[in-house]
Structure formats: C-alpha cells, structure tokens
C-alpha cells in the first residue's frame, strides 16, 4: 500500500475523530436529557454515511480512506458501551437497555437508508 494512502488514513482518521468530538459536544450541549444523545447522533450518522459509501462504486483506496479512516474514527463503539454501562450502574437500567435497543435499531435503519441513497445516486 502506498505511503500516501497511509498518510491519508492518519489525516482523515484524525479529522473523523475531531468531527466526532464536535458533533457529540454540540448535540450534548443543546439536548440535555440525561441520555447519551451525542454518542447516539454520532453513531447513527456514521452508520448512514458508511451505508452510503458502501453502495457507491468507490476506488478501493478512497473507500479505505472514507469508510475505515473517517467513519471508523468518527463512530465510537467503545464510548457507546461505556455510557451504557454507566447508565446501568447509576442505576438507570431501563435507560441502558433503551440505549442499546435504540442505537442498534436506528443504526440498522441508517445503514439501510444510506445504502438506498447510494444506490439511487448511481452506486453498485
């Protein structure tokens, strides 16, 4: 793999991580409901974006940079699980279960919607 692709992964992955932090912060500050809505927003929007990218006929290097580097750094499984575990410990078990169910359901719907849009935009 070319050195430029690796540099792209570092740079674009860094951008994805910064975008995650910004989106989470903006959403969490505007919507204060005692629920990890920022992480939910990041992960659902990332699922949509990955679904969209997967349906487009992209060059493999572009797909690596966009999908793995950006979306991989943008979305956050570990934060989702940590926040869910903290909800369960507080104890707010119904909110913890809701976080899991809503995240998975909305994530799957977002991927499907992204793939649908990608296909209509001329993807594979």
How far apart CA 114 and CA 108 sit, in angstroms, is 10
Percent of residues in the chain assigned helix, strand, coil, to nearest 5? 85, 0, 15
Query: Would you say 34 is a known binding-site residue?
Result: no
Q: Name the CA dihedral angle for 114, 47, 14, 5, rounded to a multiple of 10 degrees.
A: -60
Query: Would you say 75 is a known binding-site residue?
Result: yes
Q: How many CB atoms lie within 10 A of CB 124?
A: 10
How far apart CA 76 and CA 122 sit, in angstroms, is 29
Per the annotation, binding residues are 72, 75
Per the annotation, binding residues for Na(+) are 72, 75
């Amino acid at each position: 793999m070319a050195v430029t692709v690796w540099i792209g992964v570092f740079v674009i992955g860094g951008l994805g991580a910064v975008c995650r932090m910004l989106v989470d912060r903006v959403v969490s500050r505007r919507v204060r409901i005692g629920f990890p809505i920022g992480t939910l927003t990041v992960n659902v929007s990332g699922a949509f974006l990955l679904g969209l990218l997967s349906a487009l006929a992209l060059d493999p290097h572009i797909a690596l940079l966009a999908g793995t580097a950006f979306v991989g750094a943008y979305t956050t499984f570990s934060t989702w699980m940590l926040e869910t575990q903290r909800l369960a410990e507080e104890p707010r078990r119904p909110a913890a279960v809701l976080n899991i169910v809503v995240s998975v359901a909305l994530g799957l719907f977002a991927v499907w919607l992204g793939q649908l849009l990608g296909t209509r935009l001329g993807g594979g």
